[in-house]
Structure 1
């Protein structure tokens, strides 16, 4: 179970909720660090995710297959809304989203597979970690300075906030890009994530021509990629360049294609 993911999602939501009353109308319109989205659009995205958790839509074959474009579609649907309408949707549905994700921790349903279109399949209990990742990442890297435009401060990242986000990211890493990323892993690559949320995991090459890469806990190779867990959230989502944050030991030429390709959504 991932009650830690639920606690992290609640705390990041609390931090976002505390900031909202201080944001002026002009500040909502500022470009965020998420390309193409204003600050209000980032909140619209989080509100849309919360809404769809509570009221799952019927699948539509015309929707974009690429997950990022799907998110753009949902944000675009809300571009005509007032700031108050966007804020209200998030404020109304985020607590309901967390209540559903709390119920997902129950043993009877926790291990059920859930397909997230464009992102892969996850045990139901990990849905809370996805929310923990989304809110942490968008709040700290897209909305707030220094990367984003809003000059508000939140507490320093902690193990409790970062580790659940990284847990989802490592679960998603083998699934989100498929053969594109598989082809870049030719030797075991050890990710050594330090600081808050510290963890070590190894990305293993696919086995056989139809195989896919896998991620195992611990160190199982000679090529090591060292970075902080917080920086991992930034560069593995393409918000920053991995070259500014990673130290590679071992076969750097084997790690570089993987690092260039990796894009966790």
Structure 2
């Protein structure tokens, strides 16, 4: 099970909870590093995710299929709310979300497959990593300086926090962009991530029945191209917050990896 993901979700959420009382009304309205979202909108996004986890809305075919546009819609629904109302929703729903994710670590429900619209299908226990990724990424990259506007600092990310976020990203990588990303990989590519959250995996061309890429642990012996980055930087460039060329070093045939890196966009 992904109990490490659960621990990471709790620790990053606790760090966000420590930051919130230090943010004043003017700072909540500053532009975040998420295009078009203020700092309060980033928190509204996290609050919306938490509320939907504890009280899932009924299916609505009129909602955007694109996950980013769906998130924009949910944020837009809260733009008329006061700061206090957004904070109240986050404080009310987040502990309940964490409790639900904790319960999802236990069999038999842990291995049930859950479809996350626009993002793919995951074992229920991995949803803890989804929250760990969301809170870690938005807090450290979109809200806090140097990427975001808030002049507060946190301790350096732990290995557990980074690894949990990266585990979700790698699980989502074959699914989120489907054939678009699959078409960019014709040969095995090694992704070598170092530092906190370090891991090495190989992106394999599509051979699965669903026609998608595979992510295999370790460095495949047939891979002649390697992409090197820190795991912390991977969270930044693989979500297209920053250009991958500023953070990656390649060995072998760079042309084999460039189309994949240009296309990759983990949500």
* TM-score normalised according to structure 1 size: 0.99
The residue correspondences of 1:133-148 to structure 2 (distance < 5 A) are 133-148=133-148
Output the aligned Cα RMSD: 1.0
1:92-131 CA distances to partner (integer Å, 9 max, x unpaired)? Answer: 1111000000000001111000000000000000000000
The residue correspondences of 1:41-52 to structure 2 (distance < 5 A) are 41-52=41-52
Q: Distance in 2 between matches of 1:10 and 1:124?
A: 17
CA distance 1:260–1:25, shift in 2 (3 Å): same
1:178-234 CA distances to partner (integer Å, 9 max, x unpaired)? Answer: 010000001101000000000000000113897221100100112100000000000
Equivalent in the alignment of 2:187 = 187
Q: Moved runs in structure 1, 4+ residues, more than 3 A?
A: none
Equivalent in the alignment of 1:230 = 232
**C-alpha deviation, 1:158, in angstroms:** 1.1
**C-alpha deviation, 1:10, in angstroms:** 0.4
Answer yes or no: is 1:162 the counterpart of 2:162. yes
1:30-50 CA distances to partner (integer Å, 9 max, x unpaired)? Answer: 000000100000000000000
The residue correspondences of 1:48-127 to structure 2 (distance < 5 A) are 48-127=48-127
SS for the counterpart of 1:175 is helix
1:146-185 CA distances to partner (integer Å, 9 max, x unpaired)? Answer: 0000000011011111001100000000000001000000
Answer yes or no: is 1:205 the counterpart of 2:205. yes
1:61-107 CA distances to partner (integer Å, 9 max, x unpaired)? Answer: 00000000000000000000000000110011111000000000001
Q: Distance in 2 between matches of 1:84 and 1:210?
A: 45
**Corresponding pairs, count:** 265
Q: Distance in 2 between matches of 1:217 and 1:122?
A: 18
**C-alpha deviation, 1:251, in angstroms:** 1.1
In 1, are the aligned partners of 2:32 and 2:39 still within 8 Å (CA)? yes
SS for the counterpart of 2:111 is coil
SS for the counterpart of 1:225 is strand
SS for the counterpart of 2:109 is coil
SS for the counterpart of 1:153 is coil
Question: Unmatched 5+ residue regions in structure 1?
Answer: none
2:254 is aligned, of 248, 252, 255, to 252
* TM-score normalised according to structure 2 size: 0.98
Q: Distance in 2 between matches of 1:140 and 1:210?
A: 35
Q: Distance in 1 between matches of 2:153 and 2:59?
A: 39
Equivalent in the alignment of 1:264 = 266
Question: Unmatched 5+ residue regions in structure 2?
Answer: none
**C-alpha deviation, 1:3, in angstroms:** 0.7
SS for the counterpart of 1:135 is helix
